[in-house]
Amino acid sequence: MQTDLFLQAYLGGMLIGAGALALMLFNGRIAGISGITASAFTTKIQEGGWRWAFLAGLIIAPLITAMAGYTLPDRIPGSLLTLTAAGILVGAGTRLGSGCTSGHGICGLSRLSFRSLIATLLFMGSAIVTVSLVRYVF
C-alpha cells in the first residue's frame, strides 16, 4: 500500500478543509470555487473583492508549496479539443448545478445538505461513467 501517499493526500485534504473553513469563519462564505469564480467577474470590486483575493491565494499557493517540493503537474493531458469541450461542460454544469467538488462536495456534505449529496453522487457517477466510456468503449 502507498501509505505515504495516502497520508500526504489526507493532510493535503485537511489543508483544503482549513482553507474552506477560514473562508466561512472569517468571511461567512461557502468556499465554492465555481461560484466564487463566476461571481468575481459579475460583482462590483468593492463588494466582491474578497473573491479576487481568494482566487489570488489559490493561484499563488503552488508557487509557495513548490519550495517544499510539492509542485504542479508537468503536463495537462488531453487534446485542446477535448479540453475545450471539457472546460465548457465544467463551466456550464457547475453554474447550472450551483456548485462543484468544493461547494457541493466539501462544504455541502459538511452542511449535511441533501441537494449537495445528490449533486455530488451525480457528478461523481457521471465522471466515472465518462472515464470508463473513454477508456474501455470508444
Q: Which of residues 9-38 bind another protein (CB under 8 A)?
A: 9-31, 33-34, 37-38
**Given candidates 43, 44, 111, 138, which one binds another protein under the rule CB under 8 A?**
111
| Rounded Cα gap, residues 40 and 135, in angstroms | 36
Closest contact distance (angstroms) between CB of 43 and another protein is 12
Q: Which of 15, 13, 54 is nearest to 31 (CA)?
A: 54
**137 is a site residue for another protein (CB under 8 A):** no
- From first CA to last CA, the distance across the chain in angstroms is 31
Q: Identify which of 70, 94, 76 has the alpha carbon closest to the alpha carbon of residue 15.
A: 70
Is 110 among the residues that bind another protein (CB under 8 A)?
Answer: yes
Smallest distance from the beta carbon of 77 to another protein, in angstroms?
Answer: 6
* Residues 6+ away with beta carbon under 8 Å from 54: 23, 31, 36
CB of 116 to another protein, least distance (A): 8
138 binds another protein (CB under 8 A): no
